[in-house]
Amino acid sequence: MKKNLELEKQVLAKLMIDADLLLESELSENDFVNPTHKKLFQAIKEVGSNLALIQSKFIEEEQDYILEIAAMLMTSGRKENYAELKRLTEVRRLETILKGLQMAIDDDQSLDLIYEKIAQFDKQEIQVADMKEVLVEIVAELTGTVTAIYHPTGYTKLDKYLRGFTPGQLNIIAARPSIGKTMVAMNFLLKQTEADKKIALFSLEMTNKEISQRILARNSGMPVDQMNKPATPEQLDRVNTAMIKLEAQLKNLTLIDSVYSLPQITRMIKYLHKKSGLDLVYIDYLQIFDIKGDNRNLEIGKITRTLKKLAKDLQISIVLLSQLNRSLETRGDQDPKLSDLRDSGSIEQDADIVLMLGRDLEYEPETMKVFIRKNRNGSLGEVELVCKPASMQIGN
């Protein structure tokens, strides 16, 4: 017990130094046994790392104890401590279940009552769907009395197949380098911000400035390679006009270029979702993730599974960009197939929608082919879009 309390103090000391770690820790008041520790955790959630405000939540007799925790040298307030605290919570929960079951057995209760007790303990951890409610919702969508949520791409021919990206989905946009996966994703998300969708774009490849230059090029018609050069008066007029239009539109777009690992990205997505709400998340791109393990295929699989679960848990759409295998360029038929997905078969397995891009850079550089290779809730097909790569523009 003493060891448990010390662990609680260590974790709380770390959180008092950096309250942003609350999201990473995924802890709750129920993970603390000591009542003062529960109260302190709640105070940190409410006021952050401000020690004076934290102390104001406690009576004078408790404040010295809070200072004692704050003064601890945190040499071990690491992730494993959070995990250990969660493990101890689960152990206590299981001990409670076992005691309840033993009492039920000692009282000679029926098996049905015993199973009911197990279900009562488990339902706090597992959400069970009421099938009647789900079926009523489906019928309401079919009759038009309730509108299903979709986030259209903004491109009519494509949305005839997809209707859009759906909350809870992991979607893939895949292509070989220089084909235009970032350009396509950027045009999708800008169309979606016009529809007042809240979006986060994680750029693992380009800086926020480079992304912003491409957004400005797309909306002004200026070539991207002109963005670092002195502009003509006519170009400045176009840029200023684009800026005015973008000002209101981009209030719903958050750019992040400084996180590369899966834990960082998931933590930031949860933070943004909690802070201001999110409809869609774009991540550019999968192969640049900071991968620690020796087995790249297994690590890629972990990334796609985690993102799929996150999309489902938060009810957001995640759009993950990915590269295709180099072997695509060496075969006669260069239309991309699911087998061309690079690094792991789990990408295909975990994705709800897979869009693959093709463009003949030599003969038809302004024709973008979009191959719908997987569509869990719809049909497959192929559409052509018009593109102007120099200014990052795509049209129907």
Q: How many CB atoms are located within 10 Å of the residue 318 CB?
A: 28
CB 357 within 8 A of CB 369: yes
pLDDT at 328: 79
Q: How many domains does the chain have?
A: 2
Please give the backbone phi and psi of residue 395, each rounded to the nearest 5 degrees, phi first: -130, 170
Contact 168, 248 (CB under 8 A): no
For 255, the token pair is 């750019």
| Co-location of 197 and 107 in the same domain | no
- The predicted structure's pLDDT at residue 125: 47
Q: How far is CA 303 from the centre of its chain?
A: 11
Whether residue 85 sits in one domain with residue 185: no
Question: To 5 degrees, how large is the angle CA 294–CA 300–CA 304?
Answer: 150
User: According to the model, what pLDDT value does residue 95 have?
Assistant: 67
Pairing label, strands 381-388, 393-395: antiparallel
Name 360's Cβ contacts closer than 8 Å, sequence gap at least 6. Answer: 367
Residue 60, burial from CB neighbour count under 10 angstroms (0-12, 13-18, 19+): exposed
* DSSP, residue by residue, 184-241: HHHHHHHHHHHTT--EEEEESSS-HHHHHHHHHHHHH---GGGTTSPPPHHHHHHHHH
Domain co-membership, 80 together with 201? no
Q: Give the residue carrying structure tokens 């938060």.
A: 314
Q: Are residues 181 and 312 in the same domain?
A: yes
Q: What is the pLDDT of residue 76?
A: 44
By residue range, what is the domain housing residue 255? 156-395
pLDDT at 187: 95
- Residue 150 maps to a domain: no
CATH number at residue 327: 3.40.50.300
Q: What is the pLDDT along the chain (396 residues), one digit of tens a residue?
A: 556 778 788 888 877 777 666 666 677 787 888 888 888 888 888 877 777 788 788 887 788 888 888 777 444 445 556 666 666 666 666 666 667 667 766 666 655 555 555 555 544 444 455 555 655 555 555 566 545 688 999 999 999 999 999 999 999 999 999 899 999 999 999 999 999 999 999 999 888 889 988 988 898 888 888 888 888 888 888 888 888 888 878 888 999 988 888 888 888 898 899 888 999 999 998 988 887 767 888 888 889 999 999 999 999 999 999 998 887 777 767 789 898 887 767 888 899 999 999 998 888 999 999 999 999 988 999 999 999 999 999 988
